[in-house]
Structure 1
Amino acid sequence: MNGASGARQQDLVRALLARHGETYAAQSGITLRNTPQPLYQLAVLADLLSTRIRASIAVATLRALRDAGLGTPRRMLDATWQQRVDALGAGGYRRYDEGTATRLGEGAELLLDRYGGDLRRMRETADGDADALRRMLQELPGVGPTGSAIFLREVQGVWPEYAPFLDPKAVQGAERLGLPDDPGKLARLVPAGRAAAFASALVRVALDPTLAEEVRAAATR
């Protein structure tokens, strides 16, 4: 659906960002910077969000893992399996806690062995190639195509060579709002420095169709 005029599109974008322009990383308490610890926490969050579970539970679980001291690959690996299970359960991630506890330990070990626990080394290896980065991310247990897309959506704020990154879920949200469904045209609507927030807001609309009407109504005021 591409019928909205240029002025109407800008009104929709402003309303969307004003109401839902918070990244999932920010919602989970991650102050995203190009440093190892927040980047690792974002990778864990991408894993949690890619499971068939409410985003609010994934966000709460990332907070619980961090509160339990499991915010770095080394601490995640050094924790016992039961400590990981307990932290996941504290965040409400109970249906998938046992398998996820195993994956998080394996993923931390892979990151430490291959990249010294520093995702910036993965970035260097990818050298601006989004497909290459997604392939490397998907080597982490639990981070499949959905998880790698989530990571890129969120990290584009600090790794600008990947901005604007608008995956099919974000485009689905744009369609519901009457914004362009062509990623290239949609990318031209991204305000400077707000690519990650814009993508996250569109995903929220895709996940909750009621938000589309709310944003459309707000854009007419």
Structure 2
Amino acid sequence: MSDRTTARNLLEQGGTTYAAQAGIKLENKPAPLYRLLVLSVLLSTRIKADIAVAAARELAEFGTPEKMRNATWQQRVDALGRAHYVRYDESTATALGEGAQLLLDEYGGDLRKLRDDDVRAMQRRLREVPRMGPVGVHIFCREAQAVWPELRPYLDKKALQGAEKVGLPTDPRRLAELVADDDLARLAAALVRVELEKDLREKVSA
């Protein structure tokens, strides 16, 4: 099987991003970018991805920094609870409120002002968001590359481990050549899934 065929199989069978799962139509606009940030914060904790995605859906009603800040702490806790995001619900509800205020203070609530051609500088700014860990930063950047070309190709260690498991190159630029630029975020998502899900690995390699 050629590398391009494997990459195509990956896109078909595992190329759904976390944002798409959470019902976020990702565009280079403040609201969807903020919702992706919230999702990345939720995925930063040691909790199942499906629960974090469900929690992001529940929090969609607070889909801008202003709405998140203005929501009561209890409203945020309740939204997390409906998704069974219960181990970290209270501390995360606090962090989301603090993060919304930070974004309003530093960037006027518009994450596009956080963009930078220096990816490391962008990562450092993302880490300033409360509860945003290294995992969340990688998730945000993997998915934001769909609308922020300066991030491409963003294929972190977990994605490259997935590539190795299905026999694809582990050099990000060589991997990027296998798909269209618009599909890089989906390829990254699929490669991470391959690393996490043995069944998908076997389907893609079949």
Q: Within 5 A, what are the aligned runs for 1:134-213?
A: 134-213=123-202
Tell me, what secondary structure is at the counterpart of 1:178?
coil
Shift, 1:58, TM fit: 0.9
Q: Under a length normalisation based on structure 2, what TM-score does the superposition of the two structures give? A: 0.96
Q: Match of 1:11?
A: 5
Contact 2:103 2:110 survives alignment (8 Å): yes
Shift, 1:210, TM fit: 2.2
Query: Partners of 2:58 and 2:64 in 1: how far apart?
Result: 13
1:81 aligned to 2:70? no
* 1:111 alignment partner AA: L
Tell me, what secondary structure is at the counterpart of 2:146?
coil
* 1:116 alignment partner AA: G
Query: Partners of 1:165 and 1:38 in 2: how far apart?
Result: 19
Contact 1:61 1:91 survives alignment (8 Å): yes
Q: Deviations over 1:56-111 (max 9, x none)?
A: 11111100111xx2111111111111111000011121111011101101100000
Shift, 1:187, TM fit: 2.6
Q: Match of 2:14?
A: 20
Q: Match of 1:130?
A: 119
1:105 aligned to 2:66? no
Q: Under a length normalisation based on structure 1, what TM-score does the superposition of the two structures give? A: 0.90
1:34 aligned to 2:23? no
- Match among 43, 51, 55 for residue 57 of structure 1: 51
Q: Match of 1:4?
A: none
The count of residues paired between Structure 1 and Structure 2 equals: 206
Structure 1 moving runs of 4+ over 4 Å:
none
Contact 2:103 2:109 survives alignment (8 Å): yes
For the pair shown, the structure with the greater C-alpha radius of gyration is 1
* 2:154 alignment partner AA: F
1:93 aligned to 2:82? no
Query: Partners of 2:139 and 2:41 in 1: how far apart?
Result: 9
Contact 2:14 2:200 survives alignment (8 Å): no
* 2:106 alignment partner AA: R
Structure 2 regions of 5+ residues with no counterpart? none
Structure 1 regions of 5+ residues with no counterpart? 1-6
Query: Partners of 1:210 and 1:19 in 2: how far apart?
Result: 11
Tell me, what secondary structure is at the counterpart of 1:53?
coil
